[in-house]
Amino acid sequence: MNLFRRSLLHAAGWVLKGTDLTLSSPQGWHVTGTGQTWAKVQVGDMTQLQITTAWSAIRLIAETVGTLPLHLYRTTLKGRERAKDDDRYELVRSQPCDYMTAPEWKEAMVVSIATMGQAYNLVTKFESTGRILSIQPVVKSRVQPEVLRDGSLIYWLTDRHGKRVPYKRADIMPVRGFGGVGELEGYAPHRIHSNSMGLSVALEKYAAEFFGSGGQPLGVITTKADFGEQSREQIRAGFSRYLRSSREKGEHPVFDGETDYKPISTPNNESQFIEARKLQIAEIARIYRVPLHMLMEMDKASYSNTEQANKHFLDYTLLAYLNRIEAALDSCLLTALERRQGMYFEFDVNGLLRGDSTQRADYYQKLRVAGAITQNEIRTRENLPLIDDADDLHVPLNMAPSDLLRSHFDNPKGGS
């Protein structure tokens, strides 16, 4: 049986990267398109990346998550501390696998979740000790979840040779995007919102064709001469060549006899073309829940400072991704005993909420006056070297515990 190479299938709209498919092994024969949309445009999983607004939204989310440090924490009697002595700490913080750094790995996961509603990561371990060696992302189309008759769940991974290999959940680390009840995978935006994305593509296609034709609308050639069908086709072809040649030479076209040309396309200002394109920017922003001003649409920007804008973006866009990834890491990379003992993964979002220098100074001063932070802790957050004798907590001299003040007022002279 001849093998159909991935490169040939990709051109036809099939996606199974790094895999050869045969007729006897049909896994991975997966059509990524959603069919014809109302705008008569085909929409597939790569379409959203070809729409500039969607590209900007997906890239913004993925690259922001990629820049956030990810740490493994351990709970102690004095609070929490980073588990730097654990091998998994360095994996998620620096390099989860041989060919990816941590920012690239986090970006890949978020792009998969944002575009296809699901992300998978193959977790490689030592069989004898269970120590994790690497965490590498897997293309979603290569993984197929299945619920067995006994209710257990396995994940079939199609390797590069077309062989299906079953994995347990902890070994494939699924990160599910937004989805419905009973769904093992999240919803893909291009499937749920194919018509909205199709309209964006149609608007861009119309603009490209309009300006590609020299900005000339379609029209009707009228004349009093009589001619047959063959002559009509010859006249239309010749007239199109004549108009194109006139535009290229920068010359005005001249018509023979009583021939007239009447445009029939609706002018762009009457069809509100610019307004429609702006509306599609807002539509795409709603799909990915990204503030409009972060997509370079500044007409309705209303944030007074960077910290406020970043907090809104963090609360209503990023937290959903961060919490899903953290929960997946906790459930798949940590044992039940380790979770009960207080180990967990968490993104550090302080850098995203730093604000400007004035805001940070005011924030540190209030913490310092309240006795909640030391000078060295402030210097650490500002990436400054530590200094001696700067690890004490200070409080104002005119403050005292409430119980001490009560006893003072009850016994103003110190008597019994």
- For the chain, the average pLDDT equals 80
Q: What local confidence, expressed as pLDDT, does residue 253 receive?
A: 65
- Say if residue 21's pLDDT is above 50: no
Q: What local confidence, expressed as pLDDT, does residue 56 receive?
A: 94
Q: Which single residue is written with the structure tokens 């060919």?
A: 99
User: 3-state SS string over the chain?
Assistant: CCCECHHHHHHCCECCCCCCEECCECCCCCECCCCECCCCCECCCCHHHHCHHHHHHHHHHHHHHHHCCEEEEEEECCEEEECCCCHHHHHHHCCCECCECHHHHHHHHHHHHHHHCEEEEEEEECCCCCCEEEEEEECHHHEEEEECCCCCEEEEEECCCCCEEEECHHHHCCEECCCCCCCCCCCCHHHHCHHHHHHHHHHHHHHHHHHHCCCCCCEEEECCCCCCHHHHHHHHHHHHHHHHHHHHHCCCCCCCCCCEEEECCCCCCCCCHHHHHHHHHHHHHHHHCCCHHHHCCCCCCCCCCHHHHHHHHHHHHHHHHHHHHHHHHHHHHCCHHHHHCCEEEEECCHHHHCCCHHHHHHHHHHHHHCCCCCHHHHHHHCCCCCCCCCCCCCCCCCCCCHHHHHHHHHCCCCCC
Lowest mean pLDDT among 85-89, 202-206, 305-309, 325-329: 305-309
213: pLDDT confidence band, cut at 50, 70 and 90?
A: low
Q: What local confidence, expressed as pLDDT, does residue 343 receive?
A: 96
Write out pLDDT tens, residues 374-413: 888 888 878 788 888 888 887 776 766 656 656 666 776 6
- Say if residue 246's pLDDT is above 80: no
Q: What local confidence, expressed as pLDDT, does residue 57 receive?
A: 95
- If you average pLDDT over each of 8-22, 199-213, 278-292, 391-405, which comes out highest? 278-292
Question: Rounded mean pLDDT of 202-210?
Answer: 78
Residues of the chain with pLDDT > 70, as a percent, come to 72
- Say if residue 26's pLDDT is above 60: no
Write out pLDDT tens, residues 65-122: 999 999 999 998 888 899 999 999 999 999 999 999 999 999 999 999 999 999 999 9
> pTM to 2 decimals?
0.74
